[in-house]
């Protein structure tokens, strides 16, 4: 169980860090790290030649590659042998805060209440439903614990129940490669039908008559979702009809049914452009009609209500998006009429349609706002929130004819709540607040702040920060700063039970809301991609410098972490400002930017050109090369580093972090720790199962705490 440390204990532990670090350093210097063989390969692009000595690691079929990864794993185990028990203790501590026999708040759909529950000692969910009333007999749709028992990895996804409530389609991935097989189950009999549809996204949608299933297939090599098929129940999937192919390699496609249930929709997407096709769901054998032809730079999404379409779009240079309206029969853009106009200071993120109300999710000055408008125009108001570091979002609202809006709320020091809000009476009911077990958590013991650092170009960079009350800003506190900053993805300030294991041991935690996300609106994203990508990195560095200057921490106690595109951020700051950090954790990091973006056979590459640029063009090639972490490793000192990856990762291939670590080992001049840990069974999302993932967090935290000399 976790101990509650008094401030004097925390100070003592930190004071001892340098002595413990010296002892650890003496012991680990006797362990020899793996040394990857150098096999020079010339990579020619434009008139430029790069030499890649570790390109040979790009071959998972080569036994030598697997042997090298295992050597690195063995080295990791040897180097962290002193924290082996600590990792177990941290895992048990984090697990002990989680209610094992837990269940979700029921939501109602088409006459049934759907519930996901967990049982004590089991890693996977049990999906259930009850007809008409929560007092009705429980029907078990899926016990994933039984389904997963013969697999080291198992992911059930994309559950979709037919309108007659008798059938459910679902996707299964047992490799963590995000290649799902779709199956169909008869809920009444429990029979899983023999038709198995391979190489899909896992999601599917039914027609109105419950006889036709539409789904998306992936390209075998690139894993791009590029084809929509029509499957007739009871037939061999080999005979399924191809109804749409996305021929542009920079686009992906998907299919879904509108909340009104009237239309099946095929969506096509790229970073900058979208396009939709629609078909009435009671005419599944018909032809899809284009809603609005794609135009580069035109983004839009569609929602259906009565005889109209509501279009969320950036049309007419609406950078922060606006809401427009058009009739069913006139869907092209010249017929769209403004409903909520564009605002320069408010990002329009999403809408949710009900019979009597329109709910709008907005972002203003970094904070989410939920706006409620009555269709008849008689009411227009915002839900009140009284915190400056909170997260709020519209939750599961599949029912159309209801006055109840379900939304979620949490903050850095407030556990997640599920709330039902009556849009007519304005009464709210907290249905559930996540329990933090152990009897030791009290939100009032933690202080939260929103800070603003000044970037090198004068831009104010927001940060969300949490720490235990009573901490002195004397530069001696260990601090973990986290960042992402790509794809317009915003990392809101969220509550985490596992993070308490750091906070209660004296750590401060900060989220840097750097450019490349949309925390401060769409322009925030535009200023952190393509030829402005370096703003993401310098924002993070400037945020780090601010925390040091203001006494929250110091260079000796500052740590950084990020994963995937956030791992790219970690690689960039390691090259650009290694002296600022005592340690860095880079999870599944995208670090070999140039080589990956030049290889259009790698999954997802072509769809990334609008995010990073196309390196086949000289300007983008040179810019990418100037920040790509792998290409910019130098002969110099680097911080202590833990790098993690998954052998089956389909988004950032394992060889990127493997090559990066090999090159760092060869060139770095320090004696700091450098570790590569490869999960040989998992992919981009890490281990499956509710508690297995905690072991990976415990691994990260043990790395940080050990560097601070905190041993228990």
Active site residues: 564, 649, 684
CA 92 – CA 296 distance, rounded (Å): 51
CA 658 – CA 676 distance, rounded (Å): 7
Residue 433 has, within 13 A of its CA and on its CB side, a CA count of 12
Contacts of 484 (CB under 8 A, 6+ apart): 491, 514, 516, 517, 562, 563, 564, 565, 566, 569
Concatenate the DSSP letters of all residues of 577-629 into one string. Answer: -GGG-SEEEEES----HHHHHH-TTSTTSGGGHHHH--TTSHHHHHHHHHH-T
**111 φ, ψ (degrees, to nearest 5):** 90, -5
CA 383 – CA 329 distance, rounded (Å): 35
Length reported for the chain: 712
CA nearest 246: which of 211, 202, 288? 288
Inter-residue contact 183 to 136 (CB < 8 Å): no
**3-state SS class at 500:** helix
CA 46 – CA 624 distance, rounded (Å): 14
Query: Looking up tokens 């794809």, which residue turns up?
Result: 487
**Which tokens sit at 16?**
């001892």
CA 83 – CA 215 distance, rounded (Å): 47
CA 224 – CA 245 distance, rounded (Å): 11
CA nearest 225: which of 207, 240, 244? 244
The 8-class DSSP code of residue 517 comes to B
Helix H segments across 476-533? 500-503, 522-526
């Amino acid at each position: 169980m976790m101990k509650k440390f008094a401030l004097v204990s925390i100070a003592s532990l930190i004071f001892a860090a340098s002595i413990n670090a010296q002892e650890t350093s003496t012991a680990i210097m006797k362990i020899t790290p793996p040394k990857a063989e150098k096999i020079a390969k010339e990579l020619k692009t434009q008139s430029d030649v790069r030499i890649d000595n570790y390109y040979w690691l790009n071959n998972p079929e080569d036994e030598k590659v697997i042997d090298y990864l295992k050597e690195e794993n063995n080295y990791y185990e040897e180097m962290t042998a002193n924290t082996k028990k600590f990792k177990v203790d941290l895992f048990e501590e984090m697990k002990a805060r989680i209610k094992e026999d837990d269940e979700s708040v029921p939501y109602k759909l088409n006459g049934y209440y759907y519930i996901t529950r967990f049982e004590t000692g089991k890693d996977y969910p049990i999906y259930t439903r009850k007809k008409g009333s929560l007092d009705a007999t429980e029907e078990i749709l899926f016990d994933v614990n039984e389904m997963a028992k013969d697999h080291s990895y198992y992911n059930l996804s994309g559950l979709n129940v037919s309108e007659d409530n008798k059938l459910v389609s679902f996707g299964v991935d047992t490799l963590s490669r995000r290649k799902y097989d779709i199956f169909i189950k008869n809920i009444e009999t429990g029979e899983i039908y023999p038709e198995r549809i391979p190489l899909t996204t896992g999601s599917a949608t039914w027609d109105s008559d419950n006889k036709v299933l539409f789904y998306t297939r992936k390209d075998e090599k690139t894993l791009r979702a590029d084809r929509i098929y029509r499957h007739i129940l009871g037939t061999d999937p080999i005979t399924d009809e191809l109804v749409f192919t996305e021929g542009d390699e920079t686009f992906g496609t998907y299919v879904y049914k509108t909340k009104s249930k009237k239309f099946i929709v095929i969506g096509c997407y790229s970073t900058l452009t979208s396009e939709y096709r629609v078909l009435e769901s009671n005419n599944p054998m018909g032809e899809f009609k284009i809603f609005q032809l794609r135009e580069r730079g035109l983004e839009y999404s569609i929602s259906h209500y009565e005889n109209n379409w509501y279009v969320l779009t950036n049309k007419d240079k609406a950078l922060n998006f606006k809401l427009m309206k058009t009739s069913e029969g006139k869907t092209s853009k010249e017929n769209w009429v403004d409903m909520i106009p564009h605002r320069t200071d408010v990002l329009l993120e999403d809408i949710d349609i009900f019979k009597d109300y329109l709910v709008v999710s907005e972002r203003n000055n970094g904070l989410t706002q939920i706006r409620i408008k009555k269709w008849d125009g008689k009411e227009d108001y915002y839900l009140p929130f009284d915190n400056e570091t909170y997260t709020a979002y519209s939750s599961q609202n599949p029912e159309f004819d209801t006055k109840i809006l379900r939304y979620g709320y949490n903050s850095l020091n407030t556990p997640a709540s599920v709330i039902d809000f009556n849009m007519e009476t304005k009464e709210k009911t907290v249905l559930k607040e996540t329990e933090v077990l152990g009897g030791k958590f009290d939100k009032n013991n933690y202080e939260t702040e929103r800070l603003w650092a000044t970037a090198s170009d004068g831009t104010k960079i927001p940060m969300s920060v949490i720490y235990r009350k009573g901490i002195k800003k004397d530069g001696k506190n260990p601090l973990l700063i986290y960042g992402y900053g790509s794809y317009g993805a915003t990392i809101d300030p969220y509550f985490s039970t596992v993070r308490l294991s750091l906070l209660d041991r004296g750590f401060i935690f900060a989220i840097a809301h750097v450019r490349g996300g949309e925390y401060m609106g769409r322009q925030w994203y535009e200023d952190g991609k393509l030829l402005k990508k370096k703003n993401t990195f310098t924002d993070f560095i400037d945020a780090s410098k601010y925390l040091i200057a203001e006494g929250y921490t110091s260079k000796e106690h500052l740590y950084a972490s990020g994963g995937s595109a956030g791992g790219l951020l970690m690689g960039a700051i390691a090259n650009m400002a290694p002296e600022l950090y005592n340690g860095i954790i880079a999870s599944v990091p995208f670090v070999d930017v140039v080589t990956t973006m030049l290889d259009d056979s790698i999954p997802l590459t072509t769809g990334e050109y609008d995010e990073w640029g196309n390196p086949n063009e000289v300007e983008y090639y040179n810019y990418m090369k100037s920040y790509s972490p792998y290409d910019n490793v130098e002969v110099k000192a680097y911080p202590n580093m833990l790098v993690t990856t998954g052998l089956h990762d389909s988004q950032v291939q394992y060889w990127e972090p493997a090559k990066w670590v090999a090159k760092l080992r060869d060139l770095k001049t320090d004696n700091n720790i450098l570790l590569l840990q490869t999960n040989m069974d998992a992919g981009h999302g890490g281990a499956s199962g509710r508690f297995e993932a905690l072991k990976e967090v415990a691994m990260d935290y043990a790395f940080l705490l050990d560097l601070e000399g905190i041993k228990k």
